[in-house]
């Protein structure tokens, strides 16, 4: 499985989309690209044919502002036409700043208000249990998002209902729009918190494909409780001037910066 090629293509499209729109959130989209590459090209059973069905594994982007990542992944998977990516955030485009399940094939939940995505994922996992649907539910949270109280209400409910068909991932890049998460409203230690809330916790390097693969495999084996994968990542991963820089949480590169970013990523598509 050539994860690197997929992830590089996804990263190129992320920076191109945000630059074209002159707005968006590149930092946290780039940091989670490797995680979603493994999720969509190895772990989940989603493809172009079943993308509109609920009879498959489903994914909730709880940190909905990272929509460039989700759109780029869907395009790389062949579910979304790549030429549509240039319409990102434009008037009348399906590809708005936060994903809308009513307009975009392959988007399983409309998200944006932080904390609500993981709550929806809990509901989806519970519904699958009730309906004896063996497919799994995955959700991606931001580490800054874990400052939201609703996240912990959802975490408590997931453990209470023993949702072992739910696997969530925290994109732990350490930065949010206002800076270092520990200085804004420190949510750490996240591993001990989720363990205390009754989750099985796995801590990994979110850029090591082998570790990501292994974590998803281990999550499938867990019974009687949900799994939280805490993936340590680098904000802006792959573009040197964006890496570990909170200023790129919600800023768009200009034409010169885009060219530099694409060169670092191996040239334009």
The length of the chain, given as a count of residues: 269
Q: CATH number of the domain at 3-264, out of 3.40.50.1000, 3.30.2010.20, 3.30.2130.30, 3.40.50.970?
A: 3.40.50.970
CB 206, CB 170: distance < 8 Å = no
The answer to whether the pTM exceeds 0.95 is yes
Domain positions in the chain are 3-264
pLDDT in tens, the chain (269 residues): 699 999 999 999 999 999 999 999 999 999 999 999 999 999 999 999 999 999 999 999 999 999 999 999 999 999 999 999 999 999 999 999 999 999 999 999 999 999 999 999 999 999 999 999 999 999 999 999 999 999 999 999 999 999 999 999 999 999 999 999 999 999 999 999 999 999 999 999 999 999 999 999 999 999 999 999 999 999 999 999 999 999 999 999 999 999 999 999 987 64
CB 40, CB 56: distance < 8 Å = no
What are 50-103's pLDDT values in tens digits? 999 999 999 999 999 999 999 999 999 999 999 999 999 999 999 999 999 999
**Which pLDDT does position 268 carry in this prediction?**
60
CA dihedral for 215, 207, 2, 168, sign (positive or negative): positive
């Amino acid at each position: 499985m050539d994860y690197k090629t997929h992830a590089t293509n996804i990263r190129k499209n992320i920076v191109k989309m945000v630059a074209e729109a002159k707005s968006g959130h590149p930092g946290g989209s780039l940091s989670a690209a490797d995680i979603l590459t493994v999720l969509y090209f190895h772990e989940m059973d989603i493809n172009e044919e079943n993308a509109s069905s609920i009879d498959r594994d489903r994914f909730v982007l709880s940190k909905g502002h990272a929509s460039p990542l989700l759109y780029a992944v869907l395009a790389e998977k062949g579910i979304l036409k790549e030429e549509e990516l240039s319409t990102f955030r434009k008037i009348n485009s399906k590809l708005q700043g936060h994903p809308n399940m009513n307009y975009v094939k392959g988007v399983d939940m409309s998200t944006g208000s932080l904390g609500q995505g993981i709550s929806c994922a809990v509901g989806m996992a519970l519904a699958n249990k009730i309906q004896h649907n063996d497919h799994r539910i995955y959700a991606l949270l931001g580490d800054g998002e874990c400052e939201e109280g609703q996240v912990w209400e959802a975490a408590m409910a997931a453990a209470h209902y023993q949702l072992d068909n739910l696997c969530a991932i925290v994109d732990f890049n350490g930065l949010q729009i206002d800076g270092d998460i520990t200085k804004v409203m420190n949510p750490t230690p996240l591993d001990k918190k989720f363990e205390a809330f009754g989750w099985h916790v796995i801590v990994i390097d979110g850029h090591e494909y082998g570790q990501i693969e292994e974590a998803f495999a281990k999550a499938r084996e867990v019974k009687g409780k949900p799994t939280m994968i805490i993936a340590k990542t680098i904000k802006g991963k792959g573009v040197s001037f964006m890496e570990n820089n909170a200023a790129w949480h919600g800023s768009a590169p200009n034409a010169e910066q885009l060219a530099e970013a694409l060169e670092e990523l191996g040239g334009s598509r």
